Amino acid sequence: MSNFIDYVRLFCASGDGGKGSMHLHREKFVPKGGPDGGNGGRGGHIILRGNTQFWTLIHLKYRKHIKAEAGGAGSGALRSGAEGKDIILDVPLGTVAKNAETGEILFEITNDGEEKILCNGGRGGMGNAFFKTATNQTPRYAQPGEPREEGWFILELKLLADVGLVGFPNAGKSTLLSVVSAAKPKIADYAFTTLEPNLGIVSHRDGHSFVMADIPGIIEGAHEGRGLGLRFLRHIERNSMLLFMVPADSKDILTEYKILLNELKQYNPELLDKQRVLAITKSDMLDDELMTEMKPHLPKKVPYVFISSLTGYNIQLLKDMLWKTLNSSTDVG
């Protein structure tokens, strides 16, 4: 079974608020004391918290029903009820919370330690002491606690990476990631070897580094859900820039690039606003003369580089290009 889980559906219920106390002070020598009912405690919240130690939602896959504690009831002598214990769910950065019924996006978690409430605990009711006034010295009523919030929610992970690799199956994405980082993606010469995204940290000059995501291969029609389709296109949304990868033995590099671009456009036109670099992979099979012949037929206005992960050809140049693009604000066409 895959350990990469990027979608879970949960039923969550916060805690009911505790009821306020309707209590009148009584002591041996104070037969008619005033109201001293305390307030009820707040019900427990259900909170999502960003945690950089998590890369997947697998730890929530089997927690289908999550319920927080109710607040305690108030009591005499102005004693407030205890607050219900909050439930905190740690999630990877890039987690989006949605209402499962309406599909509405509630919020997303993008920073380590960031906390957002998914379900608010009910407020505790006020005790009768709260309602005492000059004209109503002995109120004989108190508030019930507010009811909890509950419902079905979807948590969806969109990977946060600096560079997203975009290409058809077998474009060499996994091989490149294994060469430029310590990531160990599965590599084989058949389509859809990569069935889950892999992240790698790419070391650059002077101690700098950036995060690269190997996203499973797109096929024509992916925006309609073909192949691995929409499940993986959403990860591309969170990448700062895109590295398009087309193998040197492709029938037509420009056409293949345009098909990839069109899949992204059909899925979400905003993806075309991201910076782009093109890598022509498996270039160890080319000589200088062939590369020169191919250059006029490559996409215009997109920085490109011929590389070979097998021999290491131009890998450092590619890393320099990516670093420069990540740290510039110039748009590419």
* Structural domain includes residue 331: no
Q: pLDDT of 91-101, one tens digit each?
A: 988 899 999 99
> Do residue 19 and residue 118 come from a single domain?
yes
Spatial separation of the C-alpha atoms in residues 275 and 295, rounded to whole Å = 20
Domain boundary among 126, 157, 188: 157
pLDDT score of 193: 38
Pair 294, 270 in one domain: yes
Mean pLDDT, rounded, for 287-291: 91
- pLDDT, one tens digit per residue, over 40-94 is 999 999 999 999 888 788 889 888 899 999 999 999 999 999 999 999 999 988 8
Same domain, residue pair 25 and 123: yes
Same domain, 64 and 137: yes
CB contact set of 71 (below 8 Å; sequence gap of 6+): 15, 16, 17, 18, 40, 41, 42, 43, 44, 81, 82, 83, 84, 121, 122, 124, 145
Query: Which burial class, exposed, middle or buried, applies to 244 when counting CB atoms under 10 A from its CB (0-12, 13-18, 19+)?
Result: buried
Q: How many domains are contained in the chain?
A: 2
For all residues of the chain together, what is the average pLDDT?
84
- Residue 2 is predicted with a pLDDT of 46
Q: Please report, for residues 168, 200, 214, 239, the alpha-carbon distance to residue 164 in angstroms, rounded to integers and kept in the order given.
A: 13, 11, 6, 6
Q: Do residues 153 and 166 both lie within one domain? A: no
pLDDT at 192 > cutoff 60: no
Range(s) of the domain holding residue 263: 161-326
Q: What is the pLDDT of residue 22?
A: 93
Which element (helix H / strand E) includes 143? none
Alpha helices by DSSP H, listed for the chain, are 173-180, 229-236, 253-267, 288-294, 315-326
Task: Please compute the mean of the pLDDT values over residues 182-192 and round it to a whole number.
Answer: 46
| Least confident residue range of 3-17, 129-143, 224-238, 242-256 | 224-238
Local confidence band at 224 (pLDDT 50, 70, 90 cut-offs)? low
CB 95 within 8 A of CB 108: yes
In this structure, what CATH number is given to the domain that contains residue 216? 3.40.50.300
pLDDT category of residue 144 using cuts at 50, 70 and 90: very high
Residue 333 domain-assigned (yes or no): no
With a cut of 90, say whether residue 238 has pLDDT above it. no
Asked, for residue 166, whether it belongs to a domain, the answer is yes
Q: What is the mean pLDDT of residues 270-286?
A: 91
Task: Give pLDDT, residue 189.
Answer: 42
What is the CATH number for 22?
2.70.210.12
Pick from 157, 178, 197: which residue ends a domain? 157
